[in-house]
Amino acid sequence: MDPFASPHNLDRELHSLLVEASSSLCDWFAESGSQAPIADSFVLPEVYPAKEGVSNKALLSELKLLMDGSYRPSHPRSLAHLDPPPLSASIVGELICAGLNNNLLAEELSPSLSLLERKLCKWFCEKLGFGDLSGGVAASGGSLSNLMALVMARNIAGLASDPTAVFFASEDCHVSFLKAVRIMGLGKESLQKVPTDENGELKISSLHSISKKIKAEGKKCFAVVATAGTTVRGAIDSLYEISQFCQKENVWLHIDGSIGGIYGLSKITSEIVQGLGSADSLTVNPQKLLGVAKTSSLLLVANKNHLSSTFSTGLPYAEPITGSDFHGGELGIQGTRSAESLKLWIGLRYLGEMGIEKILLESIKRKSYLESMIDSSKFEIISGPLHLLALTPINFTSSQSSDWSIKTRKSLLANNFMLSRPMYRDRYYLKAVMGNPNTKFDDLKLLANLINDSII
């Protein structure tokens, strides 16, 4: 096979390689339900290039080895993390994206796709309640969107060179904020963690008192982070009250909606996450519940000029862009990046608003069903209004919860149920995420029985 497709004729070899690889992928999906979510063992193919390249046939069988050793998100009992099966249309988007090999760095390297990204971000902004000046940029994952938001907030506050500047976030905020602290050259105490209440929501009274303390120490705050859907229990901070605090204090509000933001797309579920539009910046991760093939994250901002004023350096090796827009590479940390929006766009077009709503509503239905089947006299269940819950036996010590979670996770895996085992506060929990549309109520009934029987 020629290593690159002919620009003149139909490349028959590429065509048949794509057909065979697609067929092998479809087989992989078709057999996923009869395999375990994760294989007990696997064989890795040859890793390093040999002296001469291998044939297509050999490539396909090597690929098969990798596929056999992969995690299977479409197994109906894969419930461990926020990693659902990929939306079928977005698989096609990923393939076409690779083939086009456009670059969102510069308009001339991705004319239609750059415009698509801007328009898609604007659509999200409007749906989630942002105003006319809003816009956004795609990023490879929620951690990067969160980092860019903090860099922007600090810059807009004029505190970019103040290493003592702080931001507030709940003690249940995602670990990406700790990473951001390190990357941004801030001290560990720059992340001022605010205690949460019994529902896992940031305590507003504590926000006020910590803010007072920080002011008394002469330090400046450049952002408050509210979480719309915490990682372990899906709690949603009081967005309205936090935004009131931010307005009064004239501080940037970033909402980490990596998990919950997407619920704002449906009129029915948007009630749960009311107030997203009051943010200065918002992370949404369609790669999570919507199943857009990884990665797919957006950083949305109330005023898109804040992105360019923070990240634009000029792009002297590319043709200037016409109009008032900026090159994609001037709106965030990444330079070269793939057209992730293509998979998002094709996935959303395929689903339509009704399809999106169905995914959101059914995820909550599955969670509520599982919750109703767990014996609440034995287990403490922690869950917000979203599609995830975590549980641990009532009154267990930390070490008892550790033993129980290891043993139970193992016995659940023997029944092909894969749950995760997060440490929360001082105990281990088993966490189930109901973002897998292949999961049936019968699966959940069996799961609940196995969990209920895990302690006498």
3-state secondary structure the chain: CCCCCCCCCCCHHHHHHHHHHHHHHHHHHHHHCCCCCCCCCCCCCCCCCCCCCCCHHHHHHHHHHHHHCCCCCCCCCECCCCCCCCCHHHHHHHHHHHHHCCCCCCHHHCHHHHHHHHHHHHHHHHHCCCCCCCEEEEECCHHHHHHHHHHHHHHHCCCCCCCCCEEEEECCCCCHHHHHHHHCCCCHHHEEEECECCCCCECHHHHHHHHHHHHHCCCCEEEEEEEECCCCCCCECCHHHHHHHHHHHCCEEEEEECCCHHHHHCCCHHHHHCCHHHCCEEEECCCCCCCCCCCCEEEEECCCHHHHHHHCCCCCCCCCCCCCCCCHHHCCCCCCCCCHHHHHHHHHHHHHHHHHHHHHHHHHHHHHHHHHHCCCCCEEEEECCCCEEEEEECCCCHHHHHHHHHHHHHHHHHCCCECECCEECCEECEEEECCCCCCCHHHHHHHHHHHHCCCC
d(C-alpha 298, C-alpha 218), whole Å: 34
* Nearest residue to ligand PLP, scored by beta-carbon proximity: 142
- Least separation in angstroms between CB 194 and ligand PLP: 15
CB of 145 to ligand PLP, least distance (A): 8
Q: How far is the CB of 340 from ligand PLP (least distance, A)?
A: 12
Q: Which structure tokens are listed for 197?
A: 């209440």
In the complex, what is the shortest distance from the CB of residue 95 to ligand PLP, in angstroms, rounded to a whole number? Answer: 21
Residue ranges binding ligand PLP (CB under 6 A): 82, 141-143, 146, 174, 176, 227, 229-231, 256, 258-259, 285, 297
C-beta closer to ligand PLP: residue 176 or 266: 176
Smallest gap from residue 196 Cβ to ligand PLP (A): 13
Q: At what angle do helices 340-373 and 441-452 cross, to 10 degrees?
A: 50
Nearer to ligand PLP, 384 or 393 (CB): 384
Instruction: Give me the least distance between CB of 371 and ligand PLP, in Å please.
Output: 20
Q: Which is nearer to ligand PLP, 85 or 393 (CB)?
A: 85
Nearer to ligand PLP, 255 or 451 (CB): 255
Q: How far is the CB of 146 from ligand PLP (least distance, A)?
A: 6
Nearer CB in complex with ligand PLP: 258/266:
258
Min separation Cβ 144 and ligand PLP, Å: 7
Structure tokens at 196: 């949460």
Q: Which is nearer to ligand PLP, 106 or 262 (CB)?
A: 262
When the beta carbons of 327 and 387 are compared against ligand PLP, the nearer one is: 387
Report the residue number, 282 or 342, with the smaller CB distance to ligand PLP.
282
**Measured from the CB of residue 183, what is the shortest distance to ligand PLP in angstroms?**
13
Question: Between residues 182 and 267, which has the closer beta carbon with respect to ligand PLP?
Answer: 182
Minimum CB separation from ligand PLP for residue 417, in Å?
Answer: 20
Q: How many other C-beta atoms lie within 10 A of the C-beta of residue 322?
A: 7
For residues 214 and 389, which CB has a smaller minimum distance to ligand PLP in the complex?
Answer: 389
